[in-house]
Structure 1
Amino acid sequence: MSYKTILAALDSKANAKQVTDFSVALAEQFSAHVIGLHAETLATVPLIAPMEIPDPSAVEALQQAAHSETKAVEAIFRGAMQSDGVPFEWRSYICTAGYSSANVMECARTADLIVASQGNLAEAADSRADLESFLFESGRPLLLIPRLMTRPQPIHRALIAWNGSKEAARAAFDALPLLKSADSVEVFSVDPPGASRDAPELAGTDLAASLSRHGVKVTLRTEEKLGLPAATAIENRLADQSIDLLVMGGYGHSRWWEMLFGGVTRTMLESMTALTLLSR
């Protein structure tokens, strides 16, 4: 298994270079083709109070600004791809549905991996929510880049946050190309659920055995009765071990910070220091 089609989700000029640079690095590592994707949402009609009369000039100004950003994002993407000689294509869509449109979703669902930026979660605008929904409805693994990580770095140490769920299992195997190239991979369980409580130290044993057959250099670690939320235990482990890549399952709601382990908070992703691969 390898990543041969990488989708770079280029939602804004602010993070276009970051996402493009990481996509280039991955493309060079896996000899992959990169698709640069940007969805430009048609502006809605502002109304002039108190008569609620449509303001065409305001609509035109909003659309011109959106189109200017699209062109700027495209220039950043094309410049980097051509400079590094990476095979690529550019796709931009203009539609009222933005990232929720059928064309955008169809493009995403045929990629091996989606690369996106953590962005600024303090500014949860409607457009950001639209992008988040798109990423987690695509059915494809997502590699999320921390906001403060400005340049690609080698993945030496990886951590799989393991709770035995189907989402965590999917994430572990979606991450295989990256895990195989890492120097070490830890399967980390916090208060393992179910039958594994009878022998908690065995949590993740079958996963570790399966990964090792793929050539992954894997170890196991289980922590119990810490009195801490899973998110805090994971954060502590990331910091203690200088982890470069976190692999975990994504869960049901419409914001990143509500998707991890069903209860991991917004704080965890706002302070994330490692690349994070999520699947659901």
Structure 2
Amino acid sequence: MGYRTLLAILDTPKTTRQVTDFAVALANQYQAHVIGAHAEAIAMVPIVAPMEIPDPATVQALQDMAHQETESVEKIFREIGTREGLSHEWRSFVTSSGFNSAALIDSARCSDLVIAAQGESGFLSETKAELESFLFESGRPVLIIPHVLTAPRPIRRVLIAWNGSREAARATFDALPFLKAAEEVEVFSVDPENTPTQSPETAGAEIAAALARHGIKVTVTSSQKTGLDPAMAIENRLSDSSIDLLVMGAYGNKRWWEMLFGGVTRTLLDSMTALTLLSR
């Protein structure tokens, strides 16, 4: 089992090289095909006061800039793909909906894994809401690359943020190829609840047993009554254990049309130090 079709979200020339380099590393590991996808924004129509009519020259200039960025992104992706002997293809969409382009979502739904960059100012700060919606609509796992990680490295240690939820279960099994290749996998729970199927002391034991049947070397740990919020507890664990990959669910609230990511997910993504695989 492995990831055979990777969709690389190529946002700007600055992040394209980073995302493509990681896609190449994963493609070589899993003998995968890489699709480089870029959404070229349709320029918004500026209004000229006092007559409040569109300014065609400005509109054209903005559209030309957007197209030049598309050409730069495509050039970087194709050059790396050709140089590395990568099985790859390029897809560019001109759209007013950004990542929420129906064509881009369709491409994601036919991929094993989506790869995107965090960006230097936090989790894709300029397009955060778009990617949140994209994750919800695509139904596919998304691997986020932190801006501090400038070059691919082996994924040897994996931390699964486990709370027994649907999202956590989905993320865990979406990450199976990574888990199987890792040297160490840790199932980590923060202040687990006492439920009919588990006590705080046994939280994560059943999912760990399921993973062990796949031949995965897995341990179970928890953080109980420390006074830390879950995001801080997970951040500390990432640092203390030198984690290469965090696996977690993209938690939302009951009203799905509100903000998709819950507080724990958002806090971790804005300060992420490790690769993070999210599933919804």
| Interval of TM-score (by shorter of Structure 1 and Structure 2) | over 0.9
Q: Which runs of 5+ in 2 are unaligned?
A: none
The answer (yes or no) to whether the contact 1:196–1:203 under 8 Å persists in 2 is no
TM-score, structure 1 length as denominator? 0.93
Q: Percent identity?
A: 59
CA distance in 2, matches of 1:36, 1:233: 35
Aligned to 1:233: 233
C-alpha deviations, 1:123-152, integer Å up to 9, x for none?
A: 833x44323422342110000000111100
What secondary structure sits across from 2:188 in the alignment?
strand
Once the two structures are TM-superposed, the CA of residue 252 in structure 1 deviates from its matched residue by 2.5
Q: Which amino acid aligns with 1:131?
A: L
Runs of 4+ with deviation above 4 angstroms: none
Q: Which amino acid aligns with 2:57?
A: S
Aligned to 1:214: 214
TM-score, structure 2 length as denominator? 0.93
Once the two structures are TM-superposed, the CA of residue 271 in structure 1 deviates from its matched residue by 2.1
Residues 123/222 of structure 1: CA separation in 2 closer, same or farther (3 Å cut) = closer
Aligned length: 275
Aligned to 2:75: 75
Two-structure CA RMSD over aligned residues (Å): 1.9
Q: Which amino acid aligns with 1:35?
A: I
Residues 124/155 of structure 1: CA separation in 2 closer, same or farther (3 Å cut) = closer
Aligned to 2:28: 28
The answer (yes or no) to whether the contact 1:48–1:55 under 8 Å persists in 2 is yes
Q: Which amino acid aligns with 1:209?
A: A
Identify the range of structure 1 (100-109 vs 232-241) with the bigger mean alpha-carbon deviation.
100-109
C-alpha deviations, 1:143-200, integer Å up to 9, x for none?
A: 0000111100111111000000000000000000001111100000011124179621
Aligned to 1:140: 140
Aligned pairs for 1:1-280 within 5 A: 1-119=1-119, 120-121=121-122, 124-125=125-126, 127-195=127-195, 199-252=199-252, 262-264=262-264, 266-280=266-280
CA distance in 2, matches of 1:79, 1:252: 39
CA distance in 1, matches of 2:10, 2:140: 16
What secondary structure sits across from 2:195 in the alignment?
helix
Residues 101/216 of structure 1: CA separation in 2 closer, same or farther (3 Å cut) = same
CA distance in 1, matches of 2:123, 2:149: 17
CA distance in 2, matches of 1:161, 1:124: 24
Residues 227/128 of structure 1: CA separation in 2 closer, same or farther (3 Å cut) = closer
